Structure 1
Amino acid sequence: MQWRRLRVALAGLLAALMVPMQPAHAHEVRPAYLQIDEVGPGRYQLLWRTPMLAGMRLPVVLRLPDEIHNVVAPVAQELSDSLVERQVIDVGAQGLAGKRIEFVGLQATVTDVLVRVQMLDGTHSTTLVRPSQPWVDIATSLGPLAVAGAYLSHGIEHILFGFDHLLFVLGLILIVRNTRMLLWTVTGFTLAHSITLSLATLGVIHVPGPPVEACIALSILLLASEILRRQRGEPSLTASWPWAVAFTFGLLHGLGFASALIDIGLPQGDVPIALLAFNIGVEVGQLAFFAAVLGVMQLARQFRIPDIVERRLRTVTAYGVGVVAAFWFVERLTAFWA
Structure 2
Amino acid sequence: MKRLTALLFLLVLMPVAAFAATSFSAILTPIGGASGSGFAVITIDGTTLHYSVLTQNTATVTQADIVDASENSVVSLNPATLSNGTTTISTTLANQIAANPFGYAIKIRTSEFPNGALIGPLARSTEGEGSRVSYMPVVGKVGGINNTNFVTDMRIVNNGGSVANVTLDYFAQSAEGNGAPTVTKTITVVPGEQKVLNDMAGTTLGITSGLGGLRITSDQNVDVSARVINDQRAAGHGTAGFSYSAQPAGDTSGTISFLSSNADYRTNVGYFNPGATAVTATFVAHAANGVILGSDTITIPGYAMTQQPAFSLISSVPTASQTQDDYFITWSATGPLLVYGAVTDNVTGDAVLNQ
**Which TM-score tier does this pair reach, normalised by the shorter chain?**
under 0.3
Q: Provide the TM-score with structure 2 as the length reference.
A: 0.26
Normalized per residue, the structure richer in helix is 1
Q: Answer 1 or 2: higher relative contact order, Cα 8 Å, separation at least 6.
A: 1
